[in-house]
Amino acid sequence: MDYKNELEQKIEHKVTDYVAKGFKIFFFALFMVGLLFLIGYVVMLLWNWLMPELFGLATITYWQAMGVLILAKIIFGFGGGNGPGKKYKRKWKSQRTPKSCGPLRKDFSEWKYYDRFWKEEGESAFKAYVEKQRNHGEKE
């Protein structure tokens, strides 16, 4: 008898969970449809407010605004998501290491001496180089 009550409680709990999930899914879908209609209405209002004034275009109806919205989403993408390109980029970035540049990497440890070199020799060496270039240019 105890097992029967326990089994009934488990089944009742599962049914309650499924009904709750069903209501959540239903109201979420209803909310998304409402949001879609609201976005279409906003697109229509913005179009009819801006486009005739700025570009001399005609005003549009609600369903034309929905068509413009869908067309824009098709052309410019739906945003977010994990497209094939993103997966490739993420994989490429994770495999890249500082050693991957190999011989192209430069040793920047000598740069700590740059300021002192420029103060001591750099300016005079640069002036000599400029003078050499001017003399070389005059010969041609």
Q: Which of 37, 29, 62 is nearest to 47 (CA)?
A: 62
State pLDDT tens for residues 49-95.
Answer: 999 999 999 999 999 999 999 999 999 887 766 656 555 556 666 66
Contact 67, 60 (CB under 8 A): no
Structure tokens at 33: 């449809």
Q: Quote the CA–CA distance of 31 and 37 in Å, as a whole number.
A: 10
Handedness of CA 7, 13, 15, 21 (dihedral sign): negative
Q: Give the mean pLDDT of the chain.
A: 82
Query: For the segment 21-46, what is each residue's pLDDT rounded down to a tens digit?
Result: 999 999 999 999 999 999 999 999 99
Amino acid at 86: K
By three-state DSSP, how is residue 79 classified? Answer: coil
pLDDT score at 93: 61
| Residue that wins the pLDDT comparison between 98 and 60 | 60
Residue 122: CB partners within 8 Å, gap ≥ 6? none
- Considering only the C-alpha atoms of the chain, give the largest distance between any 2 of them, rounded to a whole number of Å: 113
**pLDDT at residue number 125:** 83
- pTM, 2 dp: 0.49
Tokens of 72: 């824009």
Q: Tell me, what's the pLDDT at 129?
A: 84
pLDDT score, position 140: 55
Q: How many CB atoms lie within 10 A of CB 41?
A: 13
Segment 8-22 mean pLDDT:
91
What are the boundaries of each domain within the chain? 1-96, 107-140
State the residue for tokens 């913005």.
46
